[in-house]
Amino acid sequence: MTDIHIRKDGHAGRITLNRPKALNALTYEMCLAIEDALWTWRVDPTVTVILIDAEGDKAFCAGGDIAEMYATGTAGDYTYGQRFWRDEYRMNALIAEYPKPVISFLQGFTMGGGVGVGCHGSHRVVGDSSLIAMPECGIGLIPDVGGSYLLANAPGRLGDYLGLTADRMGPGDAIYAGFADLYLPEDLWPTVKAKICADGNVAALTRAAQSAPASPLAARQPEIDALFAGQSLNAITSTLRASTDAFAADTLARLSRNAPLAMACAVEILHRLRHENLTIRDAFDLEYRFTSRAMERGDFIEGIRAAIIDKDKSPRWIHDLDRVPADAIDAMLRPVTGHTLTFERKA
């Protein structure tokens, strides 16, 4: 497959995303290829480590390729998108639970679907160009691909802030928030990758890793915690409106551009994950409850139209920012019937 290069290199199973002109956007076929390779290498004793990277210097993976989802969804066919999400989440979970080290090198943009591939492994490497974000609420989705679990486990209420604003994390912020582990200057990456493949372990990486840059978000942690202490989207926006701080005003402006239903459901998901001590599989289940309904009952199609198709940046959301009914949130997050999310290997 030209969009992805899968091979064995020394003791490593290597996966290289190969769509640099498309910012390595993840297609459905790429998801299936990654899953198949990981299952094969899981029982291959000659493969002792997995290395995931991408071609080009602009992006590891800027998200999922949503063109086909939009085309099928506007035609009234929601099954393609539902199948994509089920299979993608199963692949993401496989990475998160993998019994061998999974090392990812995250240059440039790592967003949305790229987080699902690159930010669940055991050793997540960032460099100076790295910019990691969960921008889904801007197109009518919730932070998914297991991103809700990472956000729920970020310090304090940082996850609520990142999930609702889509703020981009540089290397220091990504490590602080729990989306990455190690900082390594990017000119050292080729040498370290070659050593990992030759040795079949992570020793060369851990030896070469350097102190991470400072995290601007860490300095704002007390302010973020106070502004996002509310238990609902409405409580958060009320706090932001009551503040006279410039940071609060900027944050409210960011929220005002996004889909209210998606943000309200994102807040609910993060609170459930934190307060009920749920697992990453629970996170995928909650995410799928929303995404499986996002085209038919949510704002996803309208969000894609405004951002990608017509590019007018003027989405007409179903709900207003301060008036998302509780029953609308409940309807999006109730358990799914029919084709449910499973984590066994696809037949």
Q: What is the pLDDT of residues 97-154, one digit of tens each?
A: 999 999 999 999 999 999 999 999 999 999 999 999 999 999 999 999 999 999 999 9
Given a contact cutoff of 8 angstroms between Cβ atoms, the answer to whether 14 and 8 are in contact is yes
Q: Which residues contact 152 (CB under 8 A, 6 or more apart)?
A: 159, 269, 270, 273, 274, 283
Cα 143 from Cα 269, distance rounded (Å): 10
Cα 287 from Cα 149, distance rounded (Å): 10
How much is the average pLDDT of 313-325? Answer: 95
CA atoms within 13 A on the CB side of 230: 17
Q: Is the pLDDT of residue 1 over 80?
A: no
CA atoms within 13 A on the CB side of 277: 0
Q: What is the pLDDT of residues 211-243, one digit of tens each?
A: 999 999 999 999 999 999 999 999 999 999 999
Q: Which one, of 130, 136, 137, 135, lies nearest residue 173 by Cα?
A: 130
Cα 203 from Cα 219, distance rounded (Å): 32
Given a contact cutoff of 8 angstroms between Cβ atoms, the answer to whether 273 and 162 are in contact is no
The pair of structure tokens assigned to 201 is 């372990």
The pair of structure tokens assigned to 105 is 């090198």
Chain mean pLDDT for the chain: 97
Given a contact cutoff of 8 angstroms between Cβ atoms, the answer to whether 118 and 108 are in contact is no
Given a contact cutoff of 8 angstroms between Cβ atoms, the answer to whether 262 and 137 are in contact is yes
Q: Is the pLDDT of residue 203 over 70?
A: yes
Please name each of the domains of the chain with its CATH number.
1-347 (3.90.226.10)
Beta strand 12-17 pairing with 4-9 = antiparallel
Q: How many other CB atoms are found less than 10 A from the CB of residue 52? A: 23
pLDDT of residue 66: 86
Residue 12 bridge partners (DSSP): 9, 49
Cα 107 from Cα 53, distance rounded (Å): 9
Q: Which one, of 258, 154, 201, lies nearest residue 12 by Cα?
A: 201
Q: Is the pLDDT of residue 201 over 70?
A: yes
The pair of structure tokens assigned to 47 is 């493969």
How much is the average pLDDT of 13-41? Answer: 97
pLDDT of residue 168: 98
Q: How many other CB atoms are found less than 10 A from the CB of residue 279? A: 14
DSSP assignment letter at 136: G
Q: What percent of the chain has pLDDT over 70?
A: 99
Q: How far is CA 210 from the centre of its chain?
A: 25
Q: What is the pLDDT of residues 324-342, one digit of tens each?
A: 999 999 999 999 998 899 9
Band of pLDDT at residue 67, cut at 50, 70 and 90:
confident
